[in-house]
Amino acid sequence: MNIPLKKMEKVKNIVLIAHDNRKKDLLEWVIYNRGTLSRHRLFATGTTGKIIQEKADLPVHRFISGPLGGDQQIGAKIVSGEIDFMVFFWDPLTAQPHDPDVKALLRIAVLYNVPMACNRSSADFVISSSLMDEPYNRVIVDYESRLPNVEQNKI
């Protein structure tokens, strides 16, 4: 059986995202883990990336703001295999105007088996894993084979 894999290199592509009420929490986590994060390539949505660049003095490739399409940009990078790990401190108590985009981004990350941390504890566990500093083959589930056969369903 041929299992599709996505090889993650030793240097990971990590995307950092935080809703407004969680930006301070994410920044504190980034500063605490600055040494580890400095060994990887960082990506972020607009404002979050700017804050990390300025306050943590780390280079960050910035996408546009999440509500303006940054979530979709990141989702596209996940689909193309360019993101290895997502840290997304989302706000569970505040409705976001772009909630459908957030849900779609979380769905894509799960679909492509991207490690994801949505709070400090899970981020601590993932960032401290020995797998962060070595190549890793991420299994990609073949969801396409589970889709109904379109030809059989034609009217």
71 is catalytic: yes
CATH class (in words) of the domain with range 9-153: alpha beta
- How far apart, in whole angstroms, are the C-alpha atoms of residue 42 and residue 48? 11
| Active-site annotation holder among 25, 71, 91, 101 | 71
The whole-number pLDDT of residue 3 equals 67
- How far apart, in whole angstroms, are the C-alpha atoms of residue 25 and residue 122? 13
Tell me the domain boundaries of the chain: 9-153
Each residue's pLDDT expressed in tens, for the chain with a length of 155 residues: 456 788 999 999 999 999 989 999 999 999 999 999 999 999 999 999 999 999 999 999 999 988 888 999 999 999 999 999 999 998 887 777 777 888 999 999 999 999 999 999 999 999 999 999 999 999 988 877 777 765 555 55
Q: pTM for this structure? A: 0.89
The whole-number pLDDT of residue 80 equals 93
